């Protein structure tokens, strides 16, 4: 089997569904922009479409959900859709689970965030402090002071950080996923 990619018609926003060769799923961004109250809004009902796509591949959780950055057109209404471990308010049977969250370092370090961006930041911080279920993309030394401020060390948490310009560990195009992910992070 080969990998398959679906691009959802979300308007001027991004959500990409990647089915890997081993049937696991990577979701790049999530922006549910449709206005359900507007009968002329042609944008997709993203929650339904993503759930249908997950049912088609018989998956109950995403191997990875990557938020490339926290602009509204990449995260809108994510806090309504995903199961976030950091707070029970974002948990429930109708929410989709994330095995591993991928974010740029700015998601952890930004301070003036609200709505979905704040929720994603809190989830990323929680997972990083737990030391599992997250990959942060940055130059490791750029996160060193953030880690120290939170009682963590770069040496102990390096398994959660992927340096810009490197392949993401755990994915090998010759392995069962048949894909590699390269981190291009021009702002790190």
77-108 pLDDT, tens digit each: 999 999 999 999 999 999 999 999 999 988 99
Q: What are phi and psi of 38, to 5 degrees?
A: -105, 105
Task: Give the integer Cα–Cα distance in Å for 47 and 95.
Answer: 10
pLDDT of amino acid 86: 97
Task: Give the integer Cα–Cα distance in Å for 22 and 141.
Answer: 34
Give how far Cα 52 sits from Cα of 1, 17, 45, Å: 20, 12, 11
Tens of pLDDT, residues 48-88? 999 999 999 999 999 999 999 999 999 999 999 999 999 99
pTM of the model: 0.91
Domain boundaries, the chain: 4-162
Question: DSSP secondary-structure letter at 135?
Answer: E
Q: What is the percent of the chain with per-residue pLDDT over 70, rounded to a whole number?
A: 92
CB 61, CB 98: distance < 8 Å? yes
């Amino acid at each position: 089997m080969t990998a398959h990619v679906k691009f959802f018609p979300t308007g001027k926003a991004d959500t990409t569904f990647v089915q890997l060769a081993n049937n696991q799923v990577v979701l790049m961004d999530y922006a549910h922009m449709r206005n359900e109250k507007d009968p002329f809004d042609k944008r997709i009902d993203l929650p339904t479409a993503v759930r249908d796509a997950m049912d088609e591949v018989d998956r109950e959780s995403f191997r990875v959900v990557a938020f490339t950055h926290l602009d509204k057109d990449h995260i809108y209404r994510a806090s309504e859709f995903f199961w976030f471990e950091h707070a029970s308010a974002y948990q429930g049977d109708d929410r989709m689970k994330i095995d591993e969250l991928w974010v740029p370092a700015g998601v952890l370090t930004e301070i003036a965030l609200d709505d979905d961006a704040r929720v994603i930041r809190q989830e990323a911080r929680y997972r990083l402090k737990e030391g599992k279920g997250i990959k942060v993309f940055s130059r490791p030394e750029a996160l060193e002071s953030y880690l120290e401020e939170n009682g963590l060390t770069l040496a102990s948490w390096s398994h959660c950080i992927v340096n810009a310009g490197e392949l993401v560990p755990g994915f090998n195009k010759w392995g069962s996923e048949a894909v590699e992910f390269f981190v291009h992070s021009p702002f790190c």
